[in-house]
Amino acid sequence: MLLHLLSPVVTRTWASDKEGVELDKAKRIVIGENFKTKVPNIYAIGDCVAGPMLAHKAEEEGVYVAEFLAGEHPHINYDCIPGVIYTHPEVASVSKTEEELKTADVGSQEGHVLLPGQLACSGLIQGAGKDASL
């Protein structure tokens, strides 16, 4: 069984009925190597385990478990998983933070990109006239 429960409340409710599924202090399911819980044949991924609550993270972890169960040797590079905040305008990031790079003594350069097609589709240039260009 592969679990991806969408909230701490659902996780606590589900786990309370399952003998042997351990929760940490934050009420997330405790996992070991290959996302295994302490109960045989139950794996947990995504929002119900430690780490950021990102759909892309859950997807990568789900693929990992599927490949592991198929006898493959999967891997996950968490630095390549994007994080998105669905606000107006949207904000996204990928890789390490500036602070993490400074701690690791790695040089970095910050950049910002506005994608014209995305701006036009989102309505951010709405009302600028049909001849408006970016």
Give the Cα separation of 1 and 130 in Å (integer).
Answer: 53
Instruction: Check residues 79 and 74 and name the one with the higher pLDDT.
Output: 74
Instruction: Check residues 42 and 86 and name the one with the higher pLDDT.
Output: 42
pLDDT digits over 3-34, tens only? 666 666 677 677 666 678 888 998 889 999 99
pLDDT digits over 47-59, tens only? 889 998 888 899 9
Query: What was the pLDDT predicted at 5?
Result: 63
Contacts of 29 (CB under 8 A, 6+ apart): 3, 5, 11, 15, 21, 22, 23, 37, 44, 48, 49
Give the Cα separation of 86 and 32 in Å (integer).
Answer: 31
Query: What was the pLDDT predicted at 60?
Result: 95
**What is the residue-averaged pLDDT of the chain?**
80
| Phi-psi sector, 93: left (phi>0), alpha (psi -120 to 50), beta | beta
User: 1-127 maps to which CATH number?
Assistant: 3.50.50
In contact, 49 and 57? CB cutoff 8 Å: no
